[in-house]
Structure 1
Amino acid sequence: MNPGNARILLVDDDPDLLHLTRLRLASAGWQVDTAASGEAALSALAAHRADVLVTDWQMPKMDGMALFDEVRRRYPALPVIIITAHGTVPDAVEAVSRGVFGYLVKPFEGSELLAKVKQALSLSAVAPASDDGEGAWRKGVISRSPQMEELLAEARLVAATDASVLISGESGTGKEVLAQAIHRASSRSNGPFVAVNCGAIPENLLESELFGHEKGAFTGAASRHNGLFLEADGGTLFLDEIGDMPLPLQVKLLRVLQEREIRPVGSARSVPVNVRVVSATHRDLEGKIREGVFREDLYYRLNVVALKLPTLAERREDIPLLARHFLERVASRYGKDVSGFSQDALEALMTASWRGNVRQLANVVEQCCVLATSPVIPLALVQKAISEDTVSLPSLAEARRQFEHDYLSRLLRLTGGNVADAARIADRNRTEFYRLLQKYELTPTAFKVVN
């Protein structure tokens, strides 16, 4: 967040203190609105957004805690800092347990105030809308980091064309979210967005899923099926984990991209399609090209524009925004009265390694919310969730790949590298079995028994 864009609402019934505190906050480059009472503060919030509310505790009629309660009801994402006197410190500590972001004890140094507001700003909600008022295209992209803003600017430019886009990035970085944003920013936004994980569908079904099939084209094809390309006609088709697509299917995909038409399995005729393809991978496709398991001509057809998502560790300033976003969503889903994280819990989130990126953060926040017994999530709960998070478990697609690799290896060991016997045990024809061996880079001769 650009400091000049941050907006602070300051509330105090003492005009001298109000003026002095406003000057301190304004010196940091923030926009500062003021209110002389709790009631005036609520009116100000109704008229203008605020990123942080700073209020005195002791005020006539509506005091600081009463104001907080009302703000929490109306604007649950707005961080509140309370200024208190020594005599009310125990009450202030209790207030923090109820969801107040923090408190300052009079008299306090100006640097303390600025530091506390900066911390609160790290929680202040979501991605800024674009200047032209069309920020809805990036809905779901929760970010303010320079890396992501630069990437989104590129994505917005690309979206205006019909060029194919290849999104790379580690698992869990949000490749499908970015693909959806590109779709929404494009001239195809009124058309369908269809996503498919190329590594999660069995090889013998993937062609039918993509291109469709005619009735009776194969055993089990009881009716005609359009396929995902036709479902995405006029819109965007997102091919996730494109690096896992089998070589024979890569040839057919290349033909579709070149000719803009598909041929369903079992059909003698081609069908024209109008689809923009966005693909994604966490693999090194150039390395797979050198290994001979990914076609170079398909790579260049898909990689007209390349976008690379940063890891969560490379955009740590986005962690508080993402954590609050996930917490609000999960708390609403489960009906939990949970409003935020304690300061040390937030610091733990900020410094964690996040090998599973944004997906892991979402899992940790969900576990914390489910187990929380107070409105503010404490450090211990965050530490427990991070240590026990299921990021160590592979995705379903990765687990399936690992199982198939191990299964094929065991078959080849069992049969001494005899492909015909191994294919028979696996209940697959030899051609299909050879494709599987090629996919997992298994050489039958390596398993032959040497006497």
Structure 2
Amino acid sequence: MNKSHESKILIVDDDPSLLRLLSIRLNAAGYQVESAASAKIALGILQSYQPQVVISDLRMEGMDGMALFEQIRQLHPNLPVVIMTAHGTIPDAINATKQGVFSFLTKPFESQELLDTVQQAIRLQPSVTQESNLDSWREHIISRSAVMESLLQQAKQVAPSDFSLLIHSQSGTGKELLAKAIHLASHRKDKPFTAINCAAVPEQLLESELFGHCKGAFTGAEKNHQGLFQATDGGTLFLDEIGDMPASFQVKLLRVLQEKEVRPIGSTQSIKVDVRVISATHKNLQHAIRNKSFREDLYYRLNVVELELPPLAERQEDIPLLAQYFLKQAMTRSNAAIKSFSQEAMEILISAPWPGNIRQLQNVVEQSVALSTESVITEVLVKNALRDETTQFPSFVQARDHFERDYLSKLLKITAGNVSQAARIAQRNRTEFYKLLNKHHLVAENYREN
């Protein structure tokens, strides 16, 4: 298959004629091309467009090519960026390649040089078919948000190692789903994946569940029981809500992680185990360490790499996808003839605060399906299922005002109410800065230290 026909290119340049010329050349070679007249426009396009290569001019008004590259590297670490430069800026381009830019093109360049460079960059990217196979590890994670894409890139990067991982997030965000995806992206994917909620198992049973016991070890132990560490040998063990693990048990878990062996209750023999541990918690373990409720040595053993799973409210672009997914599931189970959400119902779903995250969204969709008598889920059904936990999504003006107020307040705190210094940091003159303060009813004197 000719790879160019399935590859997308994003070109960024503030020179309209060069932008048009490059687009024509790449389109003629069979590439799908999007163009942006500035770095800011390019960042907006990247929210929805997923190119295989970005080609950017180095010198542009406002944000330049290197600043754009830094933004792209944070959002899409594996996306190759090609920098175009004039003769006089070749040293800058060489420096750019040292910082991770894929390559640079010196103007003027021939069409073939452009195509060769793009082809080399794309050769490093998996084909569409390969990509779908490679991404099977994450197929159950439904998302199109940039924040989740960044997290999944991190997860994929650490998956092949045997480092212990700690997933931190609120309840109901899908921590186990992420842990399972990491397992499927690792060399342990053909071995067991086992999950246990440490908060749901009574303290007296937790040791038996994880380490096993021998027949007669305690009252009711009528036969040998293999613990989850043994049952998961070679695979991945997911310890959910690790922050709720009893303090008396933490030292026992630490010993197992250090020695890589377990001793069933009632046994005098230790058994070697090869298990990767992924743990998760909604608690602040640093705070728990300070309160002496969580062992610091266990924390560092579990938290070699920490992944922060965002709450649903921070990935609103995923809500329609998830809602449709749960709707399809609920329809299959109930044999309902519901086809969609009304526009008003979907707007309420997108605007809701979701303290219960994805688990709450699933519950709301299922309840709406169960009580619906029409083919479309209405605004009233969603509101009732949310039990008034709705909030109005802010208008652009409201969101801008909120940002301005927080930004100005933070500046005044940093400068202890020094308006001249705050205005310089904000790159505004004093008169304009005072107008902004008055607009948001912020008084500089209130931020000055005694």
In which range does the TM-score fall when normalised by the shorter chain?
0.5 to 0.7
State the Cα RMSD in Å: 2.1
State the one-letter code of the partner of 2:263. R
Q: Secondary structure at the match of 2:336?
A: coil
Q: Partner of 1:345 in structure 2?
A: 345
Within 1, Cα distance between the matches of 2:149 and 2:130? 11
What is the CA-CA distance between 1:131 and the residue it aligns to? Answer: 2.8
Corresponding residue for 1:371? Answer: 371
Distance between the aligned counterparts of 1:160 and 1:130, measured in 2?
A: 18
SS at match of 1:133: helix
How far the C-alpha of 1:130 sits from its partner, in A, is: 7.8
Change (3 A) 1:183 1:344: same
User: Which residue number in structure 1 is paired with residue 183 of structure 2?
Assistant: 183
Matches within 5 A, 1:103-114: none
Counterpart code for 2:210: L
Q: Secondary structure at the match of 1:134?
A: helix
Alignment of structure 1 residues 243-392 onto 2, 5 Å: 243-387=243-387
Match of 1:149?
A: 149
Per the alignment, residue 408 of structure 1 pairs with none
Q: In structure 1, what is the Cα distance between the partners aligned to 2:129 and 2:233?
A: 29
How many residues of Structure 1 are paired with residues of Structure 2 in the alignment?
A: 268
Q: Distance in 2 between matches of 1:129 and 1:197?
A: 37
Q: Residues 257-294 of structure 1: CA distance to partner in whole angstroms, max 9, x if unpaired?
A: 11110000010000011111000000010111011111
- The answer for the alignment partner of 1:226 in structure 2 is 226
- In structure 1, what is the equivalent of residue 413 of structure 2? none
Q: Distance in 1 between matches of 2:322 and 2:307?
A: 21
Tell me what 1:173 maps to: 173
Residue deviations 1:91-127 (CA, integer Å, cap 9, x gap) = xxxxxxxxxxxxxxxxxxxxxxxxxxxxxxxxxxxxx
| Bigger RCO (CA 8 Å, 6+ sep) | 1
Separation (CA, whole Å) in 2 of partners of 1:340 and 1:288: 45
Deviation, 1:139, is: 2.2
1:206 aligns with 2:201: no
- Percent of matched pairs sharing the same residue: 58
Q: Which amino acid aligns with 1:270?
A: S
The offset of 1:388, in angstroms, is 7.3
Distance between the aligned counterparts of 1:178 and 1:224, measured in 2? Answer: 33
Deviations 1:200-239 (A, max 9, x none): 0110110011000000001111110001111111111000
CA distance in 1, matches of 2:132, 2:321: 23
Amino acid at match of 1:249: F
Q: After TM superposition, what 4+ stretches of structure 1 lie above 4 angstroms from structure 2?
A: none
Once the two structures are superposed, what CA deviation does each residue of 1:381-420 show, in whole Å capped at 9, x if it has no partner?
Answer: 111111179xxxxxxxxxxxxxxxxxxxxxxxxxxxxxxx
Distance 1:266 1:388, change over 3 A: farther
Contact 1:129-1:136 within 8 A present in 2 as well = no
Aligned to 2:196: 196
Deviations 1:121-162 (A, max 9, x none): xxxxxxx99836322101221101010000000000111111
- 1:11-37 CA distance string (max 9 Å, x none): xxxxxxxxxxxxxxxxx979xxxxxxx
Structure 2: runs of 5+ lacking an equivalent: 1-7, 10-32, 36-127, 390-450
- Classify 1:289/1:207 alpha carbon distance in 2 versus 1 (closer, same or farther; 3 Å): same
In structure 1, what residue type is equivalent to 2:131?
Answer: D
> Which AA in structure 1 matches 2:378?
P
Q: Which runs of 5+ in 1 are unaligned?
A: 6-27, 31-127, 390-451
Equivalent residue runs for 1:88-167 within 5 Å: 131=131, 133-167=133-167
